[in-house]
Amino acid sequence: MYTYYIKDMIFVSGSKANLIKLCLLILLLLFSLMMIIVPFIIKERGLQLRQRHVRFAPDMKYILFWNHPKVKKFKSFHVKAVNEFESGQSTFIKQKCPYINCFISYNESLLNGDQSNFDAVVFDVHDISKFRINDFNFTRSPYQKFVFRSHDAADNQPICNPVFDNFFDWTWTYKLNSDVPHPFINIYNAKEKLVGPKVNMTWVKKMNHSVVPKNKFKHKDRAVICIINKCRLKHKYQDFIHELGQELKAYNYTIDTYGTCGKNKCPSGKLSECYKIAERDYYFQLVLEESTVEDYVTETVAKALSLYTVPIVLGEANFRR
């Protein structure tokens, strides 16, 4: 018996039609079974699908800056960390980094809502200093790098929580032996190439000296200035200022304090006016760093040098670096 299909203009026997239907049904069942099994296989192997924008390279590295869930309660600590780097790739492009296939995000749900999809997670010291284990709801991937980031010395921001023992893979701090060194001051050579600071620093032995510093020093007639903007000085700083003042008296010199908390106020209440006084009148400037630990050298030292004053720094920093 034959069935005649006008639409397709073909003749198909009834038995053959049933066979074709059976094959199609089997193929449909196999396809449905594959759609069910394949995702489980992918998940089992740890291959998680990510939705990427078409302009991103396939080797894009995603970096998450982790935010404390209660960050609003101590926002004043966190503002700098949040706003320091722009989201996306723009930071790496603007800095002309050799590698720009990195993407910064502050959104934990960016990659399919799964934090373990990020290649690296950065934890700022201000967040984890108030950390409790209940604050951390995070599934960690075995290939993920956890990064400890801090521009504060350990004596100012101690992290004593045992939960962080063997927690981090890399460090990103001002210390020169960090995995990612981020000093307060960068040193460039005459060709504007970054050369330091670094542990084994090589300085140019013969340098061309400008006549500007010589002319500046000709008009100076006072010994030491100290610009103080924080009224609660550490006891060791107070003792040092007192002892240095006593030593200078033997030579008829003084240490003059300026600023918000100094004996002398800045003219018009402007810090810039104090800087002008330092540049015009003083040979030395006492620099009071927030900490005296190794490698902790901030821009206040560079500022003193820019005013043609010789900085006097109390601390353990090695300035040969």
Backbone angles phi, psi at 57, to 5 degrees: -70, 155
- The model's pLDDT over 89-147, given as tens digits with 9 standing for 90+, comes to 988 888 888 888 899 998 888 888 888 889 999 998 888 877 666 666 677 888 899 99
**Is the confidence at residue 268, as pLDDT, over 50?**
yes
What's the whole-number mean pLDDT along residues 54-82? 59
Question: 277: which residues sit within 8 A by CB, 6+ positions away?
Answer: 225, 258, 267
pLDDT > 90? residue 45: no
Q: What is the DSSP string of 82-144?
A: HHSS-SBSHHHHHTT-S---EEEES-TTTTTT-GGG-SEEEEEHHHHTT--GGG---PPPTT-
Q: Is the pLDDT of residue 72 over 80?
A: no
Q: For residues 278 and 298, what is the distance between their CA atoms, to the nearest angstrom?
A: 18
What pLDDT, on the 0 to 100 scale, is given for residue 276? 92
Report the percent of the chain where pLDDT is more than 90. Answer: 19
Separation between Cα atoms, residue 232 and residue 156, nearest integer Å: 14
Tens digit of each residue's pLDDT (9 = 90 or more) over 205-221: 877 777 888 888 888 99
pTM: 0.70
Nearest to residue 307, comparing CAs of 226, 198, 202, 193? 226
Under 8 Å between Cβ of 124 and 138: no
Q: Is the pLDDT of residue 81 over 50?
A: no
Give the lowest-confidence range in 7-11, 12-16, 224-228: 7-11
> Mean pLDDT throughout 173-198?
88
